[in-house]
Amino acid sequence: MARSPEEEHPQKAFGWAARDNSGTLSPFNFSRRDNGEDDVTIKILYCGVCHSDLHSAKNDWGFTSYPVVPGHEIVGAVTAVGNNVNKFKVDDKVGVGVLVDSCKKCDCCHQGLENYCPQMIFTYNSFSSDGMKTYGGYSDIIVVDQNYVLRIPDNMPLDAGAPLLCAGITVYSPMVYYGMNQPGKHLGVAGLGGLGHVAVKIGKAFGLKVTVISTSPKKESEAIDRLGADSFLVSTDPAKFKAAIGTMDYIIDTIAAVHALAPLLSLLNINGKLVTVGLPEKPLELPIFPLVIGRRLIGGSNVGGIKETQEMLDFCSKHNITADIELIRIDELNEAMERLAKSDVRYRFVIDVGNSLSK
């Protein structure tokens, strides 16, 4: 007989889970595995609220296994280390992102591309090698193999640093891999939410000219004055849009919903590149003419490997980059999810898990 989430493992844990596709989150008792030889146990202090958490809570992608405890922008303090752990000690401030394990044997794993390992284990809504379900960071503790744990730089605030563990690496990795980081070039950031606002900051740190492409005119002054974007394009303003055609070298598309690619591709210069990291619930239509006629490329990217995630955290620490956050109590989570669905967040909700999660 299948064991209940409370009985799967010996360490008692508590968090908030969605039980069905209403996406409504509520308190949930479950358990974590014992701290193994290679593991660290982390007391979770903060956890960012990524749109992927919302997609998962609502089963937008069709593969949610309920109950689901979302959360993969986790920052906390180490409370226990196994005998083989040499990277971390008790009280260290650490982070956990989107993945908590992989096969460690394949070419991807050997190259530090655990995020493309066919057997990658996601932080939640996945099954670990012992066949047990994984639960994410909207919870009090997590147990993770030290090789999938990140060090939070000393100068980085723990709350505003948390979103870098998914939003940060998801935009940093493709910018580096696709060479979208050459100083002086022009980057368009489509969608100014959690991922998008960090892309603006990282783009500026790479020395790029950055234009935000948004459906929300009210975000314009913040994008320029607070986040450092050079210009702001309202995607529904035909005159401004026309003037920007063919001006961009790269676009990073972070839009969370189904949208047209043709207008975005029209903004690219010859040889321009559009990388999509947003994961709408339905396929997008792919217009071929703008690709062929302008020798343009379209690509995708899935978070980043562990080594590169550490590199990104150190890069952000050096450039004083963190997320702009709205810190919430865990009992404000359902309201926050409703606002996230309406693109009404400046620019990432972060749950103050340490101070607000109690039974």
Task: Indicate the residue among 23 and 290 with the shorter CB distance to Zn ion.
Answer: 23
Amino acid at 300: G
Restricted to residues 315-344, the positions that interact with ligand NAP (CB under 6 A) are 340, 343
CB of 234 to ligand NAP, least distance (A): 9
Question: Which 3-state string (H, E, C) describes the chain?
Answer: CCCCCCCCCCEEEEEEEECCCCCCEEEEEEEECCCCCCEEEEEEEEEECCHHHHHHHCCCCCCCCCCECCCCCEEEEEEEECCCCCCCCCCCEEEECCEEECCCCCHHHHCCCHHHCCCCEECCCCECCCCCECCCCCECEEEEEHHHCEECCCCCCHHHHHHHHCHHHHHHHHHHHCCCCCCCCEEEEECCCHHHHHHHHHHHHCCCEEEEEECCHHHHHHHHHHCCCCEEEECCCHHHHHHCCCCEEEEEECCCCCCCCHHHHHCEEEEEEEEECCCCCCCCCCCCHHHHHCCCEEEECCCCCHHHHHHHHHHHHHCCCCCCEEEECHHHHHHHHHHHHCCCCCCEEEECHHHHCCC
Name the one range near ligand NAP by CB under 6 A: 7-15, 242-250, 289-297, 299-307. Answer: 299-307
120 binds ligand NAP (CB under 6 A): no
b/e map 176-212, b = 16+ CB within 10 Å: bebebbeeebbbbbbbbbbbbbbbbbbbbbbebbbbb
51 binds ligand NAP (CB under 6 A): yes
Restricted to residues 56-75, the positions that interact with ligand NAP (CB under 6 A) are none
* Interface with Zn ion (CB under 5 A): 50, 52, 166
Q: How many residues bind ligand NAP (CB under 6 A)?
A: 30
Task: Indicate the residue among 76 and 191 with the shorter CB distance to ligand NAP.
Answer: 191
Among 80, 224, 244, 257, binds ligand NAP (CB under 6 A): 257
CB nearest ligand NAP: which residue?
193
Spell out, one character per residue from 136 to 175, where the chain touches ligand NAP: x when CB under 6 A holds, - when not: ------------------------------x---x-----
Task: Indicate the residue among 50 and 75 with the shorter CB distance to Zn ion.
Answer: 50
CB of 275 to Zn ion, least distance (A): 16
Among 9, 32, 55, 93, binds ligand NAP (CB under 6 A): 55
CB of 169 to ligand NAP, least distance (A): 8
Spell out, one character per residue from 72 to 111, where the chain touches ligand NAP: x when CB under 6 A holds, - when not: ----------------------------------------
254 binds ligand NAP (CB under 6 A): yes
208 binds ligand NAP (CB under 6 A): no
CB of 345 to ligand NAP, least distance (A): 6
Q: Which does 303 bind (CB under 5 to 8 A by kind): Zn ion, ligand NAP, none?
A: ligand NAP
Counting Cα atoms < 13 Å in the Cβ hemisphere of 322 gives 19
264 binds ligand NAP (CB under 6 A): no
Interacting residue ranges for ligand NAP, rule: CB under 6 A: 50-52, 55, 166, 170, 191-196, 214-216, 219, 254-257, 259, 277-279, 301-303, 340, 343, 345
